[in-house]
Amino acid sequence: MTSSSDNNSNGKVSAGVSESAGRDQGKGNPEEHLVIFDTTLRDGEQAPGISLDPQEKLEIAEQLARLGVDYIEAGFPVSSQGDFDSVQAIARSIHGPVICGLSRTHVSDVDRCYDALKDADRARIHVFISTSPEHMEYMLKMSPEQVMREVHTGVARAREHLEDVEFSPQDATRTSMDFLLEVLNEAVSQGATTLNIPDTVGYGIPWDFGHLITRIRKEVPGDYIISTHCHNDLGLATANSIAGVQAGARQVEVCINGIGERAGNAALEEVVMAVNIRGDQFPAVRTGINTEELARTSRLVSRLTGYPVQYNKAVVGRNAFAHEAGIHQHGVLSDRRTYEIIDAATVGQQGSQIVLGKHSGRHAFIDSLEKMGIHAHGDVINQAFRRFKDLADRKVEITEADLEAIVAEEIGMDVVEGYVLESLEVSGGTQGAPKAKVVVSRSGTSKEATSEGNGMIDAACRAIEAATSTGAELAGFSVSSVTGGIDALGDVVIQLKSDGIKVSGKGVSTDVVEASARAYLAAVNRLVRAKSRSTHDHSVLEADTGP
């Protein structure tokens, strides 16, 4: 069940559907390729309160291309000039994925959709109309016969423009089976190359939805790919999508972070990882997704849409690889596979994060101290662990500073206060040496310092060094962009070395000079603490002589 096409020579854009997408991108046997149709920019953007401007949509589209999706549904061109412009801009500048636009069945809508798409390397028109009794009667105010005529005209018109045409009977899961099959047969006979089955109101139940896909495949002959489009009203969007795949669907329509109308759409990251991790259940199915880009894509979409990702969200949530219970922590400290089915690095996340809280045990407590460079034993550790448990009963999150304070009290060590960046001013350009002025404070005392440097970052770091006098040497510097685009967050890591101690600090800001200054100061604070601890190692070891 595949179809293919090429760019034709008469000026129209014709897009290969999944088979050619799979073949062009070296994704292996087309029979086994699961087409990832991302609709974050269309259905995802329909979520209440989300409104992306064309520049933001373009930034997300670039990241989706990096992620390796096969299709980007970029918008609904007839709905507004803004949507038209965004679809057009994406069609003109994104290469790799096929660019798709949504259209109602009216001929003028289809033409407008094509206008927005026509400059794409490869394009698809996605034509839809409602087919359930509820929608036909109360929304469309059309009879089933009228709807059938619309399917005919809409799909036929789209095929005049492109060879890649998708058809969706909206609210398919509440449509009578006979009518649904009739409509789908009509769409195929007019040249639809993908039949998408929307569970528009999230009414489907996995086995039932799977049977629906099986039945359609049996009773609608033709050369098309069958697709799922599942909403999450009952929290079953991912389950329904993979039930569809199990029944033979070879396209899934999904959104990053599962955003979308009401409770959202099936989450791309969940469906892709379900198919990847449970290859035993889907032996013939592969996606072309670069899974290492999942977390980054999720962060970008969350930042630009303003929709936070729930902490416990599968795959991309901040707790997806965090462990608090003592038994779990003990397990993952021995081998992460005890409580993690996904290797966090494969989805761009940091793995096996040990979160100290009231459920944590000694193993995790000692491990956290050791990571901070505190090696305590015997009575010190017993006492400190008891104090930690007391504190954890009263406080949700235990920070490094809390741990340090607990152990410091047990061994009579002073807690070292860190420096705070009060202000940073830099100047530079093509004339004259770059200069920086910083004010840092510690324990209520401020200190100002200025410096020149070989660039503004160098000047800022030198000024901080002048203000803190650690005598440290720079041992490493790296900068990466947390997101794409000109206003991307710069993520800087700086390593410092002094007296055989090596520490690192991290800073994040939209201004890379400020991110560097913050990273430098974070490293200085670690260094100061580490030096203070090493002078107390003696007392820690002495305390080790207890029973």
Q: Kindly report the length of the chain.
A: 547
Between 169 and 331, whose beta carbon lies closer to Zn ion? 169
Tokens 């939209």, residue located: 510
Q: Least CB distance from residue 102 to ligand KIV, whole Å?
A: 6
> Please, are residues 224 and 194 in contact by the beta-carbon 8 Å criterion?
yes
Q: Least CB distance from residue 229 to ligand KIV, whole Å?
A: 5
Beta strands 165-170 and 123-130: pairing type?
parallel
Q: How far apart are CA 29 and CA 273, in angstroms?
A: 20
Between 167 and 282, whose beta carbon lies closer to ligand KIV? 167
Q: Is 43 in the site for Zn ion (CB under 5 A)?
A: yes
Q: How far apart are CA 231 and CA 216, in angstroms?
A: 20
Q: Least CB distance from residue 171 to ligand KIV, whole Å?
A: 6
Q: Which residue is nearest to ligand KIV (CB)?
A: 198
Q: How far apart are CA 224 and CA 546, in angstroms?
A: 75
CA distance readout (Å), 92 to 63, 307, 458: 16, 28, 40
Q: Is 166 in the site for Zn ion (CB under 5 A)?
A: no
Between 240 and 525, whose beta carbon lies closer to ligand KIV? 240
Name the nearest CA neighbour of 308 among 50, 72, 37.
50
CA dihedral 108, 110, 115, 116 (to 10 degrees): 120
Alpha helices in 323-453 (DSSP H): 326-334, 362-371, 378-394, 400-411
Q: Least CB distance from residue 439 to ligand KIV, whole Å?
A: 54
Q: Which one of Zn ion, ligand KIV, none is in contact with 128 (Cβ closer than 5 to 8 A by kind)?
A: ligand KIV
Q: Which one of Zn ion, ligand KIV, none is in contact with 163 (Cβ closer than 5 to 8 A by kind)?
A: none
Q: Which one of ligand KIV, Zn ion, none is in contact with 33 (Cβ closer than 5 to 8 A by kind)?
A: none
Between 229 and 299, whose beta carbon lies closer to ligand KIV? 229
Query: What is the Rg, in whole angstroms, of the alpha carbon atoms belonging to the chain?
Result: 29
**Which residues neighbour 26 within 8 Å (Cβ) at sequence distance 6 or greater?**
none
Q: Least CB distance from residue 60 to ligand KIV, whole Å?
A: 18
> Please, are residues 511 and 395 in contact by the beta-carbon 8 Å criterion?
no
Q: Which one of Zn ion, ligand KIV, none is in contact with 516 (Cβ closer than 5 to 8 A by kind)?
A: none
Q: How far apart are CA 13 and CA 150, in angstroms?
A: 24
- Mark the segment that binds Zn ion (CB under 5 A) among 38-46, 292-300, 370-378, 438-446: 38-46
Q: Least CB distance from residue 170 to Zn ion, whole Å?
A: 8
Between 43 and 269, whose beta carbon lies closer to ligand KIV? 43
Beta strands 225-230 and 194-199: pairing type?
parallel
- Tell me 395's DSSP state: -
Q: How far apart are CA 516 and CA 511, in angstroms?
A: 9
Q: Least CB distance from residue 360 to Zn ion, whole Å?
A: 42
Q: Least CB distance from residue 206 to ligand KIV, whole Å?
A: 18
Q: Which one of Zn ion, ligand KIV, none is in contact with 73 (Cβ closer than 5 to 8 A by kind)?
A: none
Q: Which one of ligand KIV, Zn ion, none is in contact with 170 (Cβ closer than 5 to 8 A by kind)?
A: ligand KIV
Between 228 and 483, whose beta carbon lies closer to ligand KIV? 228
What tokens were used for 61?
A: 């589209």
Q: How far apart are CA 244 and CA 208, in angstroms?
A: 10
- Mark the segment that binds Zn ion (CB under 5 A) among 36-44, 297-305, 357-365, 403-411: 36-44
Q: Which residue is nearest to Zn ion (CB)?
A: 43
- Mark the segment that binds Zn ion (CB under 5 A) among 19-27, 42-50, 57-65, 485-493: 42-50
Q: How far apart are CA 213 and CA 336, in angstroms?
A: 37
Q: Least CB distance from residue 279 to ligand KIV, whole Å?
A: 29
- Mark the segment that binds Zn ion (CB under 5 A) among 27-35, 39-47, 86-94, 279-287: 39-47
Name the nearest CA neighbour of 406 among 439, 456, 372, 363.
372
Q: How far apart are CA 509 and CA 487, in angstroms?
A: 10
Q: Which one of ligand KIV, Zn ion, none is in contact with 97 (Cβ closer than 5 to 8 A by kind)?
A: none
- Mark the segment that binds Zn ion (CB under 5 A) among 37-45, 63-71, 175-183, 313-321: 37-45
Q: Least CB distance from residue 38 to ligand KIV, whole Å?
A: 13
Per residue, what are the HEC states of 109-171? Answer: HHHHHHHHHCCCCCEEEEEEEECCHHHHHHHHCCCHHHHHHHHHHHHHHHHHHCCCEEEEEEC
Q: How far apart are CA 248 and CA 250, in angstroms?
A: 6
Q: Is 45 in the site for Zn ion (CB under 5 A)?
A: no
Q: Least CB distance from residue 37 to ligand KIV, whole Å?
A: 10
Q: How far apart are CA 538 and CA 547, in angstroms?
A: 18
Point out which residues bind ligand KIV (CB under 6 A): 43, 102, 128, 168, 170, 198, 200, 229, 231
- Mark the segment that binds Zn ion (CB under 5 A) among 43-51, 272-280, 327-335, 350-358: 43-51
Q: Which one of Zn ion, ligand KIV, none is in contact with 166 (Cβ closer than 5 to 8 A by kind)?
A: none
Q: How far apart are CA 336 and CA 195, in angstroms?
A: 41
Q: Least CB distance from residue 443 to ligand KIV, whole Å?
A: 58
Between 43 and 186, whose beta carbon lies closer to ligand KIV? 43
Q: Is the dihedral of CA 318, 321, 327, 332 positive or negative?
A: negative
Q: Least CB distance from residue 467 to ligand KIV, whole Å?
A: 57
Between 45 and 324, whose beta carbon lies closer to Zn ion? 45
Q: Which one of ligand KIV, Zn ion, none is in contact with 168 (Cβ closer than 5 to 8 A by kind)?
A: ligand KIV
- Mark the segment that binds Zn ion (CB under 5 A) among 35-43, 232-240, 435-443, 524-532: 35-43
Number of residues binding to Zn ion, judged by CB under 5 A: 1
Residues that bind Zn ion (CB under 5 A): 43
